[in-house]
Amino acid sequence: MQLDKAVEADGLQRFIQEFALLAQIQHPNVARIFRQDFSVAHAYIAMEYFPQGDLRARMKTGTITPEMAISYIKQIAAGLSAIHDVGIVHRDMKPDNLMFRQDGSLAIADFGVAKQTVMKITDTGDGDIVGTPYYLSPEQALGEQVDARCDIYSLGVLAFELLTGRKPYHASSAQELLRMHVQDPVPLLPPEHASLQAVMESMMAKNREQRYPSARTLLDDLARMGL
């Protein structure tokens, strides 16, 4: 996070306070923060190294089985529960921010607390969308204040992708994609995953009041299903 004139004092204070909280978390599904400090022009953190890369790279291999997908969803939910318990909302859940340890476990990293809350969205003109928030919650798309339930929505988008190999929403423009997040129904899972449709609906509900109230309730629901 570059410290220039655009960074307000309260934003810097939030950076300090929230990473201090994260550094206290000792959870197998949350990246370990070793140090936060400042240089002349930057604030920075020292975080553990992940030798096995990120979930995005793993997804590109096409080797994720349904059992692995469920395991990853549960690990991410457990990590979210830990950071939500200390009052942190990640706000940028996506495969690139989920890292594999040497033992194969997943850990949440690249916390949204260090990011601008307004994402840059750019159309390239040839059908690609650079910086498009495929995992953005409806309330983020609308510019509303967020809470932990925005991370649960993003996990729902990621869960759909893990189970099906495709994102739930596709559009030719950033504006249309944002509209789909806000208005379009949750797409149906394929028949082999139909038993998880209710779970998907509860993660990706457009109205956050209809979502799982916490990552822990999602885990409890999966446990009741024997997953």
Q: CATH number for the domain including 106?
A: 1.10.510.10
pLDDT band at residue 9, thresholds of 50, 70 and 90? low
Q: What is the pLDDT of residue 8?
A: 53
The catalytic position among 92, 96, 123, 151 is: 92
pLDDT in the model for residue 11: 64
Task: Let me know if residue 79 belongs to a domain.
Answer: yes
The tally of domains found in the chain comes to 1
Residue 143 falls within a domain, yes or no?
yes
* Dist. CA 157–CA 129, nearest whole Å: 18
Distance CA 80, CA 136 (A): 16
Residue 213 domain-assigned?
A: yes
Domain span at residue 220?
A: 51-224
Is 36 a member of any domain? no
The answer to whether residue 41 is domain-embedded is no
To the query of whether residue 92 is one of the catalytic residues in this protein, the response is yes
In the chain, pLDDT over 90 holds for what percent of residues? 63
Residue 189 resides in a domain: yes
Q: Can you say how many angstroms the Cα of residue 34 is from the centroid of all Cα atoms in its chain?
A: 22
For 15-24, 29-38, 208-217, which range has the lowest pLDDT when averaged over its residues? 15-24
Domain membership of residue 37 (yes or no) is: no
Q: What is the pLDDT of residues 112-137, one digit of tens each?
A: 554 433 444 444 444 444 445 899 99
pLDDT interval class at 62 (50, 70, 90): very high
Average pLDDT over residues 134-143: 90
- In a domain, residue 86? The reply is yes
